[in-house]
Amino acid sequence: MPLYTANLAAKLPHGFGLSGRSSSSLPNYAGFKCSFFFPSTHIHTSSPNRTYSSVSSSSSIMEDQKRVGPLVSGSESLSQELKVAVGAVQMACFLCQRVQSNLLKKNAQIQAKDDNSPVTVADWSVQAIISWILSKSFGSKNVSIVAEEDVQTLSKPGADRLLKAVVETVNECLGEAHRFGLENPERTLCSSEVLEAIGRCNSSGGSTGKFWTLDPVDGTLGFIRGDQYAIALALIEDGEVVLGVLGCPNYPMRKEWLCYHPRYHRIITKLSAATSDSWDKGCVIYAQKGSGEAWMQPLVHETKKLVWPNSAIPIQVSTIDDPALATFCEPVEKANSSHSFTAGLAHSVGLRNQPLRVYSMVKYAAIARGDAEIFMKFARAGYKEKIWDHAAGVVIIQEAGGVVTDARGRPLNFSKGMYLEGLDRGVIACAGASLHDKIIRAVDASWNSSCL
């Protein structure tokens, strides 16, 4: 089985990198009580595109709940799901930051999966903690998860050290669950419980009922290079994505911090662990379908607690609709999307800015936040996109005011199992309908002459 090392991986070529408290308790699910806290103050912030209004320091819990967003849209149970999901993703970001800094410092080994893509302790550990939290919060009988990792590699003879590392990472992290509005387990989990939590995520999805979809570490290549990656969790109900949470541990809250060169990013990561002093390094973005709102909150760093709404601010897509002023995002890896085809499209619609090449679903986050206007992905013929690589990003962009379709302009179909079956040519996400229309027409005009 091929192995990557963090340092070797870091030497591979790069694209551009981005570079008086009140408490409220949720019902007790299967003996697991989830508590959330509502603070009485909010951050006042502004962005180049919009100014956020200030909120009185004595606002009531009701007002605080409004600021959280999802609670205003009606479904109490969905709000609980969103809060647990955000807490779980916050905790996963914390886990990934620890593992990433150890990877970069210790020249650690990284496994390769059967398709030769890399996977680390973080992938299995995140899948284990999120599966465990969802099951404990809502009852394992009620939770069905479609996720990227399986337990085979971890269960093989000879994988003892790897499994031990995963179990340790999971327990270290779950031991801090209370900081994320969740309860710690009563005792440490043993290997078989961790394997069970990972293995439970084997649902096949489909068109009816409710299931979660999880990419524990999306953009694993970005992760092992010390660059961008995301934790993506979405809830799908009767084929529709109803809730999405994207944890982006290396995507700062402040836009002016975006342009780290990947190499600089790696150095910073090596030098400084994430602390409360760098609270604005990394964010969690979330939205609930039909709310017309998408939200972003900073990561909860060491020693801090997730206190709702955790300085959440609303985000919106960019208002730019002139292609000459727009920026498009695409995968860093040419193997994952044709850079030459998107360059041709960009030229034909009058895009002038250099593409922003970013690993993972951070591209969806960038569109939702208004940091770029277009995301295009055209995989090679025969590649089947997985639902966990898109679901959370799609609902977040839509609620932030954007449009996401395949290249024929049709909605992505999350009701056919683990793949986005019937996807026509590629994925196109835009800040607005006018840019979207131009790109769709450009794809039609140039598709037959392309080599895709």
Contacts to ligand A3P by CB under 6 A: 117, 148, 215, 218-220, 331-333, 335-336, 359-360, 379, 383, 386, 389
Torsion angle of the four alpha carbons 273, 274, 277, 281, in this order, in degrees rounded to the nearest 10? 130
Q: Output the smallest distance, CB 443 to ligand A3P, in A.
A: 17
Active site residue 150: no
User: CB count, 10 Å around CB of 161?
Assistant: 9
Say whether 215 counts as a known binding-site residue.
yes
Q: Which is nearer to Mg ion, 70 or 222 (CB)?
A: 222
Q: Which is nearer to ligand A3P, 17 or 323 (CB)?
A: 17
Q: Are 415 and 391 in contact (CB under 8 A)?
A: no
Burial state string for 19-36 with b = 16 or more CB within 10 A and e = fewer than 16: beeeeeebeebeebebeb
Degrees, nearest 5: CA angle 389-390-393 = 120
The partner in contact with residue 117, picked from ligand A3P, Mg ion, none with C-beta cut-offs of 5 to 8 angstroms by kind, is ligand A3P
Residues that bind Mg ion (CB under 5 A): 215, 218, 389
Helices (H), strands (E): how many in the chain? 13, 17
* 170 vs 192: CA distance, rounded Å: 12
Residue with CB nearest ligand A3P? Answer: 331
Q: Output the smallest distance, CB 157 to ligand A3P, in A.
A: 26
Torsion angle of the four alpha carbons 130, 135, 141, 143, in this order, in degrees rounded to the nearest 10? -40
Q: Which is nearer to ligand A3P, 50 or 261 (CB)?
A: 261
DSSP-derived pairing of the beta strands 210-218 and 145-147: parallel
The partner in contact with residue 333, picked from Mg ion, ligand A3P, none with C-beta cut-offs of 5 to 8 angstroms by kind, is ligand A3P
Q: Catalytic residue among 120, 169, 213, 220, which?
A: 220
Q: Which is nearer to ligand A3P, 331 or 355 (CB)?
A: 331
Active site residue 327: no
Say whether 218 counts as a known binding-site residue.
yes
Q: Which is nearer to ligand A3P, 136 or 363 (CB)?
A: 363
Q: Output the smallest distance, CB 58 to ligand A3P, in A.
A: 44
Q: Output the smallest distance, CB 218 to Mg ion, in A.
A: 4
Say whether 444 counts as a known binding-site residue.
no
Burial state string for 365-377 with b = 16 or more CB within 10 A and e = fewer than 16: bbbbbbbbbbbbb
Catalytic residue ranges:
123, 220
The binding site consists of 148, 215, 218, 389
Q: Enumerate the known binding-site residues for Mg(2+).
A: 148, 215, 218, 389
